[in-house]
């Protein structure tokens, strides 16, 4: 019979798997964006960004449906952590929507667009690193119990 630690571990592993896939897509965007993307590279960058947006939205929904209950229930701070995650998701969606709107606008400057994609890339990588540290902490809490933190 699976323990709550095992079940959380399964959800956590899926989140980390998503992160690996998102990082691979972000690397592709970084290569396409380059310092001064050609016109062809800029078109590929737009397409790659829109594909990433679809993958990223699915990832956020997964976290909100599958990870959020684990975050909420781990300890007394869980609801605060869940609210912070949802607020971060709202911010990420907003930022991604703005950059996707640039990708779809015919008059978007290629260099300015590449700069915005690069900025988005950095913020998503930072967010995932922070989230992975949080997952590690939550895993520890599920493995050893929140009562270990309070003595």
pLDDT per residue as tens, the chain (151 positions):
566 778 999 999 999 999 999 999 999 888 877 666 677 888 888 999 999 999 999 999 999 999 999 999 988 899 999 999 999 999 999 999 999 999 999 898 888 888 999 999 999 999 999 999 999 999 998 888 755 555 4
Asked if residue 20 is part of any domain, the answer here is yes
* Nearest to 87, CA basis, from 114, 53, 67, 60: 60
Asked if residue 139 is part of any domain, the answer here is yes
Angle at 133 between CA 60 and CA 131, to 5 degrees: 15
Asked if residue 151 is part of any domain, the answer here is no
Asked if residue 55 is part of any domain, the answer here is yes
Asked if residue 150 is part of any domain, the answer here is no
The total number of structural domains in the chain stands at 1
CA 139 to chain centre: 18
């Amino acid at each position: 019979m699976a323990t709550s630690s095992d079940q959380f571990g399964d959800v956590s592993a899926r989140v980390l798997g998503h992160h690996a896939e998102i990082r691979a897509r972000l690397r592709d965007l970084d290569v396409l964006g380059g310092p001064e993307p050609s016109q062809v590279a800029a078109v590929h960058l737009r397409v790659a960004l829109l594909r990433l947006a679809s993958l990223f939205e699915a990832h956020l929904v997964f976290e909100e449906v599958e990870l959020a209950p684990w975050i909420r229930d781990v300890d007394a701070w869980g609801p605060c952590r869940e609210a912070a995650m949802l607020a971060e998701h709202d911010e990420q969606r907003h930022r991604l929507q703005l950059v996707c709107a640039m990708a779809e606008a015919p008059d978007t400057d290629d260099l300015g667009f590449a700069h915005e994609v690069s900025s988005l890339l950095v913020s998503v990588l930072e967010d995932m690193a922070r989230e992975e540290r949080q997952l590690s902490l939550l895993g520890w809490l599920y493995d050893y119990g929140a009562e270990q933190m309070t003595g």
